A and B are shown apart, each in its own frame.
Chain A
């Protein structure tokens, strides 16, 4: 079973809820797919077992063979080919679909191997870090999930903030999605969009209301009722959680006092 924890807005408690799920179900493996800045490894503080680099391909144009017909430029869906003296692939935008290679009449386009990220393996965590040059991470995230799946069948996938390409692979792969929200206006807006997204992708989902006590919870409850979503967990706001986060002792706190936090 793969569980994705999404949130839309940043700082609603996706990582906290992933850790709560982890404490409640020990046979799950945590997967950090916030590939631009993975942070679960600092919270868990486990010993690194091994690292693995992940490679993909981009197109490269051989200027000696190129006759500047510009078919590659016209067919590139990602606008990744710029015309200088001759067409040149901008690597950070190329997705490696190789349509250009198919359409090139002069056989001037080759594949080039590039590194798209690195996966770190810990005892209870698989953490992906994307290469700095990449702007598009979906392929890498799919690969992180695929490789984590080889270690354990049950995954808790911690997602980055936002609802764009950086969380779509996780939602597509998951069987169950948890949407973490907070009782604030921004939390509410992100919640609505998250629910619409999960419905569009036809995923089973439920809502986690974090930071109960800081805002208007009834409003979130009303929205959930209206959109047909169920609030499965409620987490009380506590300053202790923030302190424990800053000290890197959140896991210890959750192990000791999880009953006090969950309502």
Chain B
């Protein structure tokens, strides 16, 4: 499963970002059977745009074919758009690595 997580730092040990669309980085993790196969760090272009951050992030996630996201907080527009795009939304706190594994196991609340 491809999980995207908004993150404060550019690696798997970084903590999740408190904001979703305006997080500094997105880390897209490929997890299979509880193991991390691959990961990609994306510099979030939407972090400092004046308007439409949720849309830019949704477009980026759709183009990367992400199946689920984990967030700490999420804005109304991002929530609506991700739902429309068919991307699952989980909530959680911790490091990117732990969250990606937990999300794949289905241990996180939706």
> What is the bound-complex CA distance between A82 and B77, given in angstroms?
11
Known: A79-B56, A82-B81, A84-B85. A93 touches B51 (CB 8 A): yes
Chain B residues numbered 22-70 whose CB sits less than 8 Å from any CB in chain A: 46, 49, 51-53, 55-56, 58-59, 62-63
Contacts of A84 in B (CB 8 A): 62, 81, 84-85
Given A82-B85, A83-B62, 17 more pairs with CB closer than 8 A: A78-B51, A79-B46, A79-B49, A79-B51, A79-B52, A79-B55, A80-B52, A80-B55, A82-B58, A82-B81, A83-B59, A83-B85, A84-B81, A84-B85, A90-B77, A93-B51, A136-B51
- In the bound complex, how far is the Cα of B55 from the Cα of A187, in angstroms? 36
Please report the total number of A residues contacting B with Cβ < 8 Å. Answer: 12
* Interface size class of chain B, counting residues whose CB lies under 8 Å from the partner chain: 10 to 19
**What separation, in Å, do the CA atoms of A146 and B102 have in the docked complex?**
57
The answer to the question of A220 belonging to the interface, with a C-beta cut-off of 8 Å to chain B, is no
| A residues near B85, Cβ cutoff 8 Å | 82-84
Q: Secondary structure of the B side of the interface?
A: helix
Question: Looking at A82, A90, A136, which has the most chain B CB atoms within 10 Å of its CB?
Answer: A82
Residues of B within 8 A of A78 (CB): 51-52
Q: Does A81 belong to the interface (CB within 8 Å)? A: yes
Interface assignment of A54: CB less than 8 Å from any CB of chain B: no
A residues near B51, Cβ cutoff 8 Å: 78-79, 93, 135-136
- Interface residue? A73 (CB, 8 A): yes
Q: How far is the CB of A44 from chain B (nearest CB, A)?
A: 34
Known: A79-B49, A82-B81, A84-B85. A90 touches B62 (CB 8 A): no
Rounded to whole angstroms, the CA-CA distance of A82 and B59 in the bound complex is 6
CA distance A84 to B85 in the complex (A): 5
Q: Which residues of chain A have C-beta atoms less than 8 A from B58's C-beta?
A: 82-83
A83 touches B63 (CB 8 A): yes
Per the 8 Å Cβ criterion, residues 46-100 of A in contact with B are: 73, 78-84, 90, 93
Q: How far is the CA of A81 from the CA of B55 in the complex (A)?
A: 7
List A contacts of B62 (CB < 8 A): 83-84
CA separation between A187 and B2, bound complex, in Å? 50
